[in-house]
Structure 1
Amino acid sequence: MKLKCIAVDDEPLALKMLCSFIEQTAFLSLEGKFENAIDALAHTHKNEVDLIFLDIQMPDLSGMELARVLESNKSISSTRIIFTTAYNQFAVEGYKVDALDYLLKPFSYEEFLRAATKAYQFFENQQQAAVPETSKKDYIFLKVEYQLVKVMLRDILYLEGYKDYVKVHLVGKPSPLLSLTSLKNMEDILPETQFMRIHRSYIISLDHIDSITRNTVNIGKTTITVSDHYKENFLQFVNKWIG
């Protein structure tokens, strides 16, 4: 899946950099670039746009005003926004119009990629939620360094959370993948029929459990403790497992 994007900024150098960032990101497709919000709005009425990288302070029609127009127009309500601005006082207002993210100028490609990946995961989740359970994908994409890596669900043994990162332990791989995401985000993405959170720092694959006790799970040579907060749900699973 590629996200159809447009870039909107009245500063030529900022617009050029933004377009360059979009073009070097594999899961983004640059469909247009505009130096004013009025032309960008006209484009969204005639073309499908998934994501707009949008400056806020522009003449005639500001980025925030464009965002409000898009939000109120149900025919293009699927279009989402990542704001790009030099002024941090707009952050709260940006989230009021349901912006996916907010990039403060000047921003690096790494910061841009983090926001773009968040948008990709948003659309991926929406796409999966819209199809029948039997048709849902058997893989996910993880942000690993500066790329998205396709990971088959059947290969995931367990996930280990570390602040803003998650270690994903895989079948047949001596080293885990290190992904810039949160364990909560992974919990939302992974199907609950196949995965369960049993600890503040762990999500396990139910298919790869080798043995269990009331307080621990063994997956291969790894023993993971079930914390009190998740014990009730885990015991319900255990009763079904042994029943």
Structure 2
Amino acid sequence: MTTLNCITVDDEPLALGLVSAFVDQTPFLNLVGKFGNAVQALQAIHSMDIQLVFLDIQMPDLNGMELARVLSKTASSSQTKIIFTTAYNQFAVEGYKVDALGYLLKPFGYEEFLETSMKAKRYFDQIRESNAVPDVEVREDYLFVKADYKLVRIDFESIIYIESLKDYVKIHLTPPAKPVMTLSSLKAIEEKLAPGKFLRLHRSFIVAVNKIDSISKNAVHVGNIDISVGDLYKEAFKELLARWS
């Protein structure tokens, strides 16, 4: 059975005690710490193996939403997820922006807590099932990526461009093939691609050089898609311009 390591974070002792008690009575949750502020919680997340954070929003110093934004920008964002616990429902939309798994509006009972925790358990079950096989397997002119719980062959010649979407990578292919989504990082995919045939021009995009239709001052154009050149990739873009001139 999947067991999730959890911490609880709330500056109100009574609220912290209640949500911690709910965690303790849930068989698939393992409480590894409880904290009265988000700064202590952030230190714990960086030093411990934590999958789930039950996080209050309104706290002094670093509030829960600010902590969530910090976590959403780190490489571990797919391993550590947040369930907000708050008395203020106006934060719901912001919660979705930081990819929170749930939103418990105070006062909440154990039934609501368990329902939201089960959602988190299903999320991590899917992650662990998908990690049972390698993310990317590469051959001379194609690679296999994990998608929809199976390995899908991607021929290098069929790739138009590759797009990073947070924890996922979307590989756009020549029609009529549909794009393929895989749980991976753009860097991991980039390392498997045939050298010289693909070029990273932005932190979120890699383009197949032979699929580029035109180049302008700070962008490449592939079909009806314009991909701007990021500051970190201007040297690579200059090399591309030199090859095309």
| TM-score normalised by the chain length of structure 1 | 0.54
Other-structure match for 1:71: 72
The answer to whether residue 16 in structure 2 is matched with residue 15 in structure 1 is yes
In structure 2, give the amino acid aligned to 1:9.
D
In structure 1, give the amino acid aligned to 2:63.
S
For the residue of structure 1 that corresponds to 2:82, the secondary structure is strand
Structure 1 CA distance, aligned partners of 2:44 and 2:77? 11
The answer to whether residue 55 in structure 2 is matched with residue 59 in structure 1 is no
Other-structure match for 1:103: 104
Deviation at 1:131, TM superposition (A): 1.2
Other-structure match for 2:124: 123
Contact 1:70 1:76 in 2 (8 A): yes
Structure 2 CA distance, aligned partners of 1:75 and 1:14? 27
Other-structure match for 1:114: 115
Structure 2 CA distance, aligned partners of 1:69 and 1:94? 13
User: Which segments of 5 or more consecutive residues in structure 2 lack a partner in the other structure?
Assistant: 135-245
In structure 2, give the amino acid aligned to 1:94.
G
Structure 1 CA distance, aligned partners of 2:19 and 2:103? 14
For the residue of structure 1 that corresponds to 2:83, the secondary structure is strand
In structure 2, give the amino acid aligned to 1:46.
S
Structure 2 CA distance, aligned partners of 1:80 and 1:129? 17
**What is the CA deviation profile of residues 22-79 of structure 1, one whole-angstrom value per residue up to 9, with x for unaligned ones?**
0000000000000000000001111111000000000000000000111112145410
Structure 1 CA distance, aligned partners of 2:101 and 2:123? 8
In structure 1, give the amino acid aligned to 2:18.
M
| TM-score normalised by the chain length of structure 2 | 0.53
For the residue of structure 2 that corresponds to 1:16, the secondary structure is helix
Other-structure match for 2:231: none
The count of residues paired between Structure 1 and Structure 2 equals: 133
For the residue of structure 2 that corresponds to 1:74, the secondary structure is coil
For the residue of structure 1 that corresponds to 2:122, the secondary structure is helix
Structure 1 CA distance, aligned partners of 2:76 and 2:16? 27
Other-structure match for 2:172: none
Deviation at 1:132, TM superposition (A): 3.3
For the residue of structure 2 that corresponds to 1:98, the secondary structure is coil
Contact 1:70 1:77 in 2 (8 A): no
For the residue of structure 2 that corresponds to 1:32, the secondary structure is strand
